[in-house]
Amino acid sequence: MVTINGKNVDITVLTTIGNYLDENKFRRQRIAVELNGEILPKPAYDTTFFNDGDKIEIVSFVGGG
């Protein structure tokens, strides 16, 4: 079980953060991912796997003025 944006999510299949983002229609160029309190570099999305107990925050950038 991992926590994503404050909600418990059961990840039963070995998957990367990149796969999760794609499956949930996140636009990678408009988000930042924090993994256990540290910003995850975008190139690491496809090589970083979820681990039990991870805490992930996905933040979307919003433009405007």
Q: Enumerate domains of the chain plus CATH numbers.
A: 2-60 (3.10.20.30)
Rounded to whole angstroms, the Cα distance separating 56 from 39 reads: 10
Half-sphere exposure of 56 (CA within 13 A, CB side): 26
Q: What is the pTM of this model?
A: 0.88
Q: Cα-flanking dihedrals φ and ψ of residue 30, to 5°? A: -115, 20
pLDDT tens-digit readout, 9-59: 998 889 999 999 999 999 999 999 999 999 999 999 999 999 999 999 999
Rounded to whole angstroms, the Cα distance separating 53 from 23 reads: 21
Identify residue 25 by its one-letter amino acid code.
Answer: K
Rounded to whole angstroms, the Cα distance separating 27 from 31 reads: 7
Task: Give 65's pLDDT tier (boundaries 50, 70, 90).
Answer: low
